[in-house]
Amino acid sequence: MTPIQTLIQKQRDFFATGATKQLAFRKAQLARLKTLLEDNTQAICDVLKADLNKPADQVMLAEITPLVHEIDYMLENLERLAAPKNVESPETLKLFGAGEYHSQIIAEPYGVTLNISPWNYPFQLSISPIIGAIAAGNTVVLKPSEFTVHSSALLNRLVAQYFAPEFFTVVEGDVAVNQALLAEKFDYIFFTGSVPVGRIVMAAASKHLTPVTLELGGKSPFIVDTSANLEQAADSLIFGKTFNSGQTCIAPDYLLIHEAVKAEFVAILNQKLTALFGDNPWQNYAKVVSERHYLRIKNFLKDGNIVAGGLFNDETHQMIMTVLDGVTWDSPVMQDEIFGSVLPMLTFSRFDDALAQITAQAKPLALYCFTEDKTNQEKVLAQVSFGGGAINSCFLHFFNHNLPFGGVGDSGMGSYHGDRSFYELSHEKAVVVRKIA
């Protein structure tokens, strides 16, 4: 057997012992994972600075604190989530014979799970699905991205230090390692990344009929109508598009603004960008992960006229939020998810036309709409299908563990966070017990 096959077999053997099904074991492993994060906060900040120039406050806000809170939530609620759920037994069951009928749903783990995580949030998106996997009673193989080498190496070292490999382990490597992993049979695969790679993962999983969660992306719109608070909208847009240098799956991908407020909004953006970043923002601004990714994003600047932002640094692969005017749906920048700080701007004259432009495209992972018009709020929620989003805010749905997070259509399938993480990584087994008098 190959090393990967040996690893999977060891996890399968360990799962067969039934150890992971014990709630005490699951709680102990979750507590251990929390300790890993809290004891190594500085090391995590250091590697994310090295890989992405990510400021420490962004690391705490998006990479560490949400994970600690999620673990705490799971520890507090695990007994409730794991308990069999009694459901009503209808009278029709008695047509099959006399007796008492008891119906319940039992959440059971899938078994050996694989999490393939991306480079933009190397710890948040590596660990968050694993919290659900551990809580549900599975074993875990984690394959982090090869683009963030320092983060990947730290994950490998820490997981080996805190966990037994037959329960939770890290496999590092490039595309060839991904292919080798996907060639094997897992009981569940969780993938976060691009739409093209998501198709590859799903195709590989289909050969083994392995269930999958796909957390993908797409072109998430940011809508501003004439009733919007433009100052508030500008602050939210800048936050969403500059956080992690726009390398966020739920970042606004394009601005769709009413033509009557376009000029005023662009002026506000320019004022705020200048006040925030000045002429030298590079020290506390995340960089693009690689030269190839940076050049791809910079090339989009040719697709329109720069009307806000425009600062970039070829040596450090950094670019602040840059708004492009004169863009059409046929422009290269509008063909795929940008995953960077470039923001194309399109306009509309009627709100219904804006919604028609969005619904003509693939279903986005996120949508943000800034409007004080209740009718427009109701229209966008009723008429547009998207993974999740917010009215008059940006990103906040991601940080509420009571809300499921996931895509729809091309932006993904399945959801997690809070209770959904447990159920996503569990099979709900339906059982009827008949007691014959």
Active site residues: 215, 249
CA–CA gap between residue 73 and residue 67 (Å, rounded) = 10
CA–CA gap between residue 129 and residue 420 (Å, rounded) = 10
Helix (H, G, I), strand (E, B) or coil at 426: strand
Contact predicate 293/266, CB 8 Å = no
In 3D, which of 31, 37, 236, 188 has the Cα closest to residue 122?
37
Dihedral angle, C-alpha 126, 399, 410, 213, nearest 10 °:
40
Contact predicate 119/19, CB 8 Å = no
* Mutual angle of helices 175-182 and 195-206, in 10-degree steps: 30
Helix (H, G, I), strand (E, B) or coil at 200: helix
CA–CA gap between residue 204 and residue 176 (Å, rounded) = 14
Classify residue 202 as exposed, middle or buried by CB count within 10 Å of its CB (0-12, 13-18, 19+). Answer: middle
Contact predicate 52/148, CB 8 Å = yes
CA–CA gap between residue 29 and residue 110 (Å, rounded) = 17
CA–CA gap between residue 131 and residue 422 (Å, rounded) = 8
Provide DSSP, 240-256: HHHGGGG--TTS--EEE
